[in-house]
């Protein structure tokens, strides 16, 4: 199974988490690619891949700037994503209780609206804990991989 790790970030934390997550999967001999959402086109989405989205929250609960073009294309083109499987990991800070993790939630809502199937629960990283973001993402994704194996 090919795993595509796609990240949207403002400060670089989602990229760090994406690279750490991908490295942990490569160690299990999985085929994996990492790409910034700003350079990924919706025309590249394939139903035979597993997508892992790591998305931070910016400003007042918005998507980071690097994820905006991808989200806008999903909203305008509205591709049929039936059969596509993905996992979602959100980065935020619970200090901002009203908007914590909203970037990932918005992207998750759009993907499911278009027919994609999320595997596992949305992972969450709270920057106020000072836990290393990569460790948090890797631990969360280990559970997602168990869910993927159970669905196969």
3-state secondary structure the chain: CEEEEEEECCCCHHHHHHHHHHHHHHCCCCEEEEEEHHHCCHHHCCCCEEEEEEEECECCCECCHHHHHHHHHHHHHCCCCCCCEEEEEEEECCCCCCCCCHHHHHHHHHHHHCCCEECCCCEEEEHHHCCCHHHHHHHHHHHHHHHHHHHC
What is the rounded average pLDDT of the residues 73-80?
96
Tokens standing for residue 59: 């400003």
Burial class (CB in 10 A: 0-12, 13-18, 19+), 96: middle
Right CATH for 2-151 from 3.40.710.10, 3.30.70.580, 2.70.98.40, 3.40.50.360: 3.40.50.360
pLDDT computed for residue 6 by the predictor: 96
Rounded to the nearest 5°, which phi and psi values hold at 9?
-145, 155
What is the rounded average pLDDT of the residues 30-56?
91
Mean of the per-residue pLDDT values of the chain: 87
pLDDT at residue 113 is higher than 90? yes
pLDDT computed for residue 59 by the predictor: 78
- The contacts of residue 103 (CB under 8 Å, 6+ apart) are 8, 55, 56, 57, 58, 61, 62, 63, 64, 67, 90, 91, 92
pLDDT computed for residue 58 by the predictor: 82
Going from N- to C-terminal start, the domains of the chain cover 2-151
pLDDT at residue 29 is higher than 80? no
pLDDT at residue 28 is higher than 90? no
Rounded to the nearest 5°, which phi and psi values hold at 86?
-150, 165
What is the rounded average pLDDT of the residues 11-36?
86
Distance CA 108, CA 122 (A): 8
pLDDT computed for residue 149 by the predictor: 62
Rounded to the nearest 5°, which phi and psi values hold at 78?
55, 60
Q: 134-152: per-residue pLDDT in tens? A: 888 988 998 888 766 655 4
Q: 114-137: per-residue pLDDT in tens? A: 999 999 999 998 878 888 888 889
């Amino acid at each position: 199974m090919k795993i595509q790790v796609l990240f949207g970030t403002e400060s670089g934390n989602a990229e760090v988490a994406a690279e750490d997550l991908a490295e942990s999967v490569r160690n299990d001999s999985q085929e994996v690619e990492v790409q910034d959402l700003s350079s990924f086109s919706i025309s590249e989405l394939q139903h035979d891949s597993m997508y892992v989205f790591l998305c931070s929250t910016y400003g007042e609960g918005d998507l980071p700037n690097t994820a905006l073009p991808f989200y806008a294309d999903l909203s305008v083109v509205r591709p049929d994503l039936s059969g596509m499987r993905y996992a979602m990991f959100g980065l935020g800070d619970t200090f901002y209780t009203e908007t914590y993790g909203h970037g990932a939630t918005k992207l998750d809502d759009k993907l499911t609206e278009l027919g994609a199937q999320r595997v596992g629960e949305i992972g969450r990283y709270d920057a106020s804990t000072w836990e290393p973001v990569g460790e948090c993402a890797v631990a969360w994704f280990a559970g997602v991989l168990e869910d993927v194996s159970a669905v196969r």
